[in-house]
Amino acid sequence: MSKILTFGASSSKKSINKRFAVYVAHCIPNADVNVLDLNDYEMPIYSIDRENEDGIPDLAYTFKEQFKNSDAVVISFAEHNATYTSAFKNIFDWISRIDKNVWHNKPMFLLATSTGGNGAVIVLEAAYSRISRRNSNHISTFSLPNFNENFNDSMGITNPKLKSSFESKLDEFISKI
């Protein structure tokens, strides 16, 4: 059994990225899937003053610990104003203060989707660029445009071209776990 940590990098209760991330995690054979909800990790907005006065919140340690305890990680990023959602960025800022090994060097599958045609590719590029600097393990990426037209929960990706490109990325990721 591989322990797969997954979440949508969004705090929306109806997050399409959470749906997509959970779907992809379950595509991995023999996976024990641990799904996080960013709403369970809401912390004060990061500031150096808060850190100096009150320290790093326990929730940041709890969040980071789950990376340590996993064999691989699947994250799907929502794009807000061409970058991370505030919910994800705040968690990222806090956990980056614990130690430099932010992601515990696990193989990662970084995804992104949106209801529009760009598939949240800008935030995906930003996430890959940042995370790959601090994680020397393998990182696969895939962006799914027009989520509502190209995905359903029972069949997964319905567009044949996108499905084929997704499956080669998935195979690549699985081979690194």
Ligand X SMILES: Cc1cc2nc3c(=O)[nH]c(=O)nc-3n(C[C@H](O)[C@H](O)[C@H](O)COP(=O)(O)O)c2cc1C
* Residues binding ligand X (CB under 6 A): 8, 10, 12, 15-17, 78-82, 114-116, 118, 120
The least CB distance from residue 42 to ligand X, in Å, is: 15
**Nearest Cα residue to 38 out of 103, 107, 88, 73:** 88
Q: 40: which DSSP letter?
A: G
**Nearest Cα residue to 92 out of 83, 101, 102, 82:** 102
The least CB distance from residue 149 to ligand X, in Å, is: 13
Cβ–Cβ < 8 Å for 124, 118: no
Q: Which is nearer to ligand X, 115 or 175 (CB)?
A: 115
Maximum Cα–Cα distance across the chain: 54
Cα 28 to Cα 74, 91, 121, 154, distances in angstroms: 10, 26, 23, 15
Distance CA 170, CA 167 (A): 5
The least CB distance from residue 172 to ligand X, in Å, is: 24
The least CB distance from residue 25 to ligand X, in Å, is: 15
Q: Which is nearer to ligand X, 118 or 137 (CB)?
A: 118
The least CB distance from residue 118 to ligand X, in Å, is: 5
Q: Which is nearer to ligand X, 8 or 107 (CB)?
A: 8
